[in-house]
A = this chain, B = another copy of it.
Amino acid sequence: MQNVGKSVTRVDAYDKITGRAKYTDDLCDNRSALVLRIVRSTIAHGYVKSIDASEAEKVPGFVKIFTCFDVPEIDFATAGHPYSPDPSHQDTADRRILNRHVRYYGDDIAVIVAENEIAAAQAARKVKVEYEELPFVLDAQEAMKPDAPVIHCELFQSNVLKHTDVRIGNYAEAIKEPGLICVDKWYDTQTVQHCHIENFICYAYEEAGKVVVVSSTQIPHIVRRITGQALGEPWGNIRIIKPYIGGGFGNKQDALYEPLTAWVCRKMGGRLVKIDVSREETFVNNRVRHAIRYHIISWVKPDGTFVARKLECFSDQGGYASHGHSIVAKGLGAFAKMFPCPNVEADAYTVYTNKPVGGAMRGYGMPQASFAFDCATEDIATALGIDSLELRRRTLMPKGFKDGFFKTEQYYDSYNQCLDRATAYIDYEKKHKEYAHQTGDIRKGVGVGTFWYNTGVWPISLECSSCRMVLNQDGTIQVQVGETEIGQGADTAYSQMAADVVGLKDYRDVHIVSNQDTDITPFGLGAYASRQTYMVGFSVTQTGKLLKKKILDYAHEMTRMPVDILDVVDSNIVRKGDGRVLVSLAQLATTAFYDTVHCDHLTAESTYQIKSNAYSFGCCAAEVEVDIPLCRVQVKKIINVHDCGNLINPALAEAQVHGGQSMGIGYALSERLIFDPKTGRVLNNNLLDYKLSTAMDHPHLEAQFVENPEPTNPFGTKSLGEPPACTVAQAIRNAVLNATGVAVNDLPLHPQNLYKRFCEEGLIKDPWQKEE
């Protein structure tokens, strides 16, 4: 491994730092583009009765309006999952390109086509919509009640999109054991948004009879399928091109407005049309992280041994299914794996509400679940008066744990290795005791949090990656994969891996084709499930070996040395025995291209279907300072330690962790979408009122790694993209508990929340509280 494992410079660093890199809007011919603006519902639930665009049509620059009465009568699903020919594995098709039955405040009911953004916005405002209003519901458990309005009455009898359960042992019998202590708690997580830098944007035009959509998406091949389905067109008629994108974090793992834009393009005779979604729309009309509520009842022995546990999860899906139940189900499945217990009764419900749509977001349900699970461990330790770190070490998935479903196991003592590193860094054990009984206005605390995460989606869904490699005349290679660079540095990791597989001296001799184009790019599923480096590891290795074989066969022809004694090392063809360079790869390539006796364009392409999964582990430790009167928490020190297998590029891995820590700090302390209970409208749909965590809110972000080689993967690597976001909130919550003795069970721990809790616990006195 000459390139893998080194912190080499990103292949896109120069272009991105200089501002030269082209993103969707840079590529759009804005001189000729018509712009789209969506007319949005101003009620949370009901039917559109009529739409009057007579005033909108008078706006100079208005071109056309299409409404929910014009769209194809095709229900489609927007989720970025691989398709399954098995209907029972297909996503819920519960929406149309524009919706007549509106399910949340802001739903898409019409679209203005105009000559410019201003005309589009003005015209959209002048559209008059008449509704038949229906009752609405904004809470998952409320929505499960028999009298709740049924939001998708066309498809379901209730608002429960899906319910699944896990049963291990016999919970009801087990809890009868005498001497058990019962800890019964509710934990609640809020709705947050991804807040990637580049809002969703796409444009569409016709070319050679196809509709081409250039889109800021994580999943071009999947968007091709969904767009074809939504338009009712053969999928080959759809071409999706993905340029560099300014982040996604899962929000762009749905087909957001590609179907709409493609459809309008068709309706406009193939004219170039563009939609550039505003930040306000990004908050409300893209996807959000599911607010999930957990109820955990733990029956434990006095020494902390878990005897029986019950889990209930209520996931707030919002108005449409999107990724739906799979998000809460991930946590459901993790519960008995992360903390094995002989008797478990666990149930998860995904419930439609009249709110913005929950979708994929970095962590895919695990930030919520890990928060609840780890708080529960802390709360059990508190109830028993035992050491919570010690309790974690005893109850977390042990080395040797085998998972029959995922067909993987805990090969190492990962949790203890990670916890050792993290707690040492913040001097946890000493400080945790020291901080236990503080008084005064400013108090300190330390806490830890843990997570588990898998890699990719097998065996739940298809996992595959295809790769094409081409030898250039100068001995460099072109590499194409369907797995997308979305800002995380994936292209660099692929280049490093490809260089090592083929035997190139330098990863810069790999020309990675960064942009995916579904007409050209080998089929790959895109950026999600922290799958990319793991999956591409397989396809790059397989394809690189195919290319290398072709190279060596050609070298055999050139040198008449037996192919078995030849190798490609440092971009040269060498004899294995003595390492003698026989011919450079560049010379071989030039000959292969131009030899009049035997010319061959040496390329390789193959699909690797992956039927394995890998577990990542890790933890976070944080030290906080709590200002009791101001109800304010400051993170003073934070460390994440990850076992994500071997690192392909340590600097990129570290950057990935930093991003996740920042996201986790925001999740813990400040971020949430606020809904007006009277209308269902989002009240803070902008970056002024939505308190995104920024560098101002961070201490130094420490990232460390335990590199346990993953045995299933050619490069020994496993998931790292999402895990860093899964473990911060519980560490901070537990640190606040250590500092103040107050367990806060709902996120975020922002001043309003702490004020309420500190009042309840008597740390401060509520001046408005009535004397009794």
A interface list, Cβ under 8 A from B: 11-12, 14-15, 18, 20, 22, 26, 29, 82-85, 206-210, 225, 228, 234-237, 270, 459, 461-462, 464, 466, 468, 472-476, 478, 480, 508-509, 511-514, 519-520, 522-523, 586, 590-591, 593-596, 598-601, 603, 605, 607, 609
Do A12 and B208 touch across chains, with their CB atoms under 8 A apart?
yes
Contact A83 B513 (CB under 8 A): no
Whether B607 contacts A236 by the Cβ 8 Å rule is no
Cross-chain contact of A20 among B14, B270, B461, B598 (Cβ < 8 A): B270
A221 to chain B, nearest CB (A): 9
Chain B residues with Cβ under 8 A from A20's Cβ?
206-207, 270
Given known A85-B595, A598-B609, contact A236–B473 (CB-CB < 8 A): yes
Chain B residues near A26: list those with CB within 8 A: 29
Set of chain B residues within 8 Å of A83, measured between Cβ atoms: 590, 593-594
In whole angstroms, what is the CA distance A602 to B517 when docked?
Answer: 17
Do B601 and A520 have beta carbons less than 8 Å apart? no
Contact A520–B599 (Cβ < 8 Å): no
- Partner of A466 from the list B208, B598, B601, B609 (CB cut-off 8 Å) is B601
- In the complex, what's the smallest C-beta–C-beta distance from A491 to chain B, in angstroms? 9
With the chains together, A521 CA to B244 CA distance in Å? Answer: 21
Evaluate contact between A84 and B594: CB separation under 8 angstroms.
yes
Question: Which chain B residues border A29 with CB–CB below 8 Å?
Answer: 26
Q: How far is the CA of A14 from the CA of B11 in the complex (A)?
A: 39
What residues of chain B lie closer than 8 Å to A461, measured between beta carbons?
596
* Nearest-Cβ distance from residue A129 to partner chain B, whole angstroms: 35
> What number of copies of this chain does the assembly contain?
2
Q: Which 8 pairs between the two chains have the least Cβ-Cβ distance? A: A236-B476, A234-B474, A523-B601, A236-B472, A466-B601, A601-B607, A236-B474, A235-B473
Q: Is the CB of A590 within 8 A of B85?
A: yes
Whether B462 pairs with A236 at a CB distance below 8 angstroms is no
A228 surroundings in chain B (CB, below 8 A): 473-474
* Nearest CB in chain B: distance from A99 CB, A: 27
User: Is A519's CB under 8 angstroms from B513's CB?
Assistant: yes
Q: Which residues of B contact A607 (CB under 8 A)?
A: 599-601
Query: How far apart are the CA atoms of A12 and B206 in the complex, in Å?
Result: 12
CA distance A584 to B476 in the complex (A): 40
With the chains together, A472 CA to B225 CA distance in Å? 11
Given contacts A601-B466, A601-B522, A601-B607, A84 and B15 within 8 Å (CB-CB): no
Closest residue of chain B to A473, judged by CB? Answer: B235
**Which residues of B sit under 8 angstroms from A478, Cβ to Cβ?**
236, 519-520
- Distance between A65 CB and nearest chain B CB, rounded to angstroms: 24
- A234's contact among B11, B476, B513, B605, by CB below 8 Å, is which? B476
Q: Return 6 A-B CB contacts under 8 Å, by A number.
A: A14-B208, A84-B596, A235-B474, A466-B601, A520-B520, A600-B607
Shortest CB-to-CB span from A476 to chain B, Å, is: 4
A594 → B minimal CB distance (Å) = 5
Pair B522/A513 contact, Cβ less than 8 Å: no
CB-nearest residue of chain B to A491: B208
Residue from B22, B206, B511, B598 within 8 A of A519 (CB atoms): B511
* Docked pose: A82 CA to B591 CA in angstroms: 12
Query: Closest residue to A467 on the B side, CB-wise?
Result: B601
Q: Are B599 and A609 in contact (CB under 8 A)?
A: yes
Task: For A209, give its contact among B508, B593, B601 (CB under 8 Å).
Answer: B508
Do A85 and B591 touch (CB < 8 A)? yes
Min Cβ gap A155→B in Å is 23
Nearest Cβ on chain B to A517's Cβ, whole angstroms: 8
Q: A20-B270, A225-B473, A593-B83 are in contact. Are A522 and B208 (CB under 8 A)?
A: no
When distances are taken between beta carbons in the complex, the residues of chain B under 8 Å from A509 are 236
Q: Which residues of B contact A237 (CB under 8 A)?
A: 474
Inter-subunit contact B208/A511 (CB<8 Å): yes
Instruction: Flag if B594 contacts A82 (CB, 8 Å).
Output: yes
Known: A20-B270, A474-B235. A593 touches B208 (CB 8 A): no
